[in-house]
Structure 1
Amino acid sequence: MADSRPAQDVLSKDGIRLGLTAADKWDAIAQCGALLSDIGAVEPGYPRTMLEREGSVSTYVGEGVAIPHGTDAARALVRRTALGVLQFPGGVDWDAGTPVRVCVAIAAKGEEHITVLSALAEVLLDPDRAERLRTTTSVHTVYELLSTVGREVGA
């Protein structure tokens, strides 16, 4: 079932952090969890489940992007569906040499993560948009590039 809140609540400019660094993918995922907590989208236990998820299956999706999210059981810890966007311009080694420059952290209730992934795939399938997402220094640009994701979920 789609969330009835306005799209801007799914992705807010407060949930976009640019120019970050991370020691490794585990540090990047911890930062993703902290961001989702900071914006009030998840209960305190959710970030730990993001690390568990990555331990069982990689969240790398291509084009220098990973989508850290919690386990299926962690949905009970999601207060509201939200996205967090963390950009690591220097890249983070994700899976044996696969550099990730953008993490889209996902907190989704129910099956809403399917809608989020679908809308995100549209952005990543456009090489120009994907490149802008990886390299921009503007929160506004990230917000505009991913606004379709928020609209899809908020519809």
Structure 2
Amino acid sequence: MSEQSGSRDLPIDPKRDAAGVSRLEWIVAAIGLLLVSGSIAYLIHTGLTKDGTPPDVVVSVDQVLPGEQGFRVLLSARNSGGRTAEEVEIEGRLTDGGRTIETSAVTLDFLPAESRRKATIAFRNDPRRYQLELRALGYREP
């Protein structure tokens, strides 16, 4: 048997439609459409309902750990406000009867709205022996 005019009969794949697109390709395309549509809907919803209140930063102690050169205070900074805070300055102060023993500070580059970030400040003195006060000194809005 010889080929006539260069054409061959190709086997028909029942998993492909007339345009040559497989069912798997349609499924993947549908999933992609759902993901993109869902992302757009989420962004629109967030943009319309987002709370525009200024950042509200609260700092709390998670743990105090001894180290080779002093003590580390692991802390959490939470922004319960509706806007992002940048360059959040956090101060830790050890006091004894109103007298300041030592201060330490850390700066968080970025604290998004309704989020929490962890940081560490260091002291030479044991924070467990004194009153430890943590507070956000200030921030910059982007």
Larger radius of gyration: 2
Name the TM tier (shorter chain). Answer: under 0.3
Larger relative contact order (Cα-Cα within 8 Å, sequence gap ≥ 6): 1
- Structure with greater strand share of residues: 2
Bigger helix fraction: 1
Q: TM-score, normalised by structure 2?
A: 0.21
Please give the TM-score of this superposition, normalised by the length of structure 1: 0.20
